[in-house]
């Protein structure tokens, strides 16, 4: 069975680590428009030590069988960071639980398709990694009903943002049927 909390935690950690760098390098208003408030606050509250720990653990994320194992590994390194992550996950899961079944299934299926995404060879460049992500994400997103797309746009706006920007970044056709 798919553990949606595990996939969301992995997604949140990767987004946050990358988001922290983005927030310091680009227009924060763009980031604020696409990431949930919980992630933004978590990123703002991260210390250099937190970033180091999460970066280290993100490279080992598939070694953890469950979210609880990952949280325990974080607790060993920083109990304070574990509390921050648990609070973050609670907020994200509250939002996730408000979604319709269609939107929840989209997130679950995307997580299942992408569970090995970061195990791609390190020789594969970032654009190629984005193409792999895009070829999984864009067709699935385009099949969603307008209601589900609007719901995701309101609750997790990064999906709408990705549907618009990915085709431009990786130079692929976004007109999936």
Q: What is the pLDDT of residue 12?
A: 58
Q: What is the pLDDT of residue 80?
A: 94
Quote the pTM value: 0.71
Name residues of the chain where pLDDT drops below 50: 1-2, 19-25, 177
Q: What is the pLDDT of residue 116?
A: 60
Q: Dihedral of CA 4/9/11/12: which sign?
A: positive
Gyration radius of the chain's alpha carbons: 16
Listed in sequence order, the residues at least 6 apart from 84 whose beta carbon sits closer than 8 Å to its beta carbon are: 42, 45, 46, 50
> CB–CB of 61/10 below 8 Å?
yes
Q: What is the pLDDT of residue 22?
A: 43
């Amino acid at each position: 069975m798919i553990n949606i909390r595990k996939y969301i935690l992995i997604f949140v950690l990767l987004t946050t680590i990358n988001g922290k760098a983005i927030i310091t390098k680009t227009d924060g208003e763009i980031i604020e428009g696409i990431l949930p408030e919980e992630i933004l606050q978590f990123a703002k509250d991260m210390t250099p030590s937190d970033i180091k720990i999460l970066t280290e653990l993100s490279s080992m994320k598939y070694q953890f069988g469950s979210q609880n194992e990952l949280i325990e590994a974080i607790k060993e390194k920083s109990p304070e960071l574990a509390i921050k992550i648990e609070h973050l996950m609670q907020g994200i899961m509250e939002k996730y639980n408000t979604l319709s079944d269609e939107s929840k299934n989209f997130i679950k299926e995307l997580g299942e398709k992408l569970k090995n995404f970061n195990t791609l060879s390190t020789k594969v460049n970032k654009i190629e990694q984005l193409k792999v992500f895009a070829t999984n994400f864009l067709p699935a997103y385009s099949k969603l009903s307008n209601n589900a797309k609007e719901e995701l746009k309101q609750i997790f706006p990064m999906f709408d943002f990705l549907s618009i920007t990915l085709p431009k970044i990786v130079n692929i056709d976004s007109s999936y049927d």
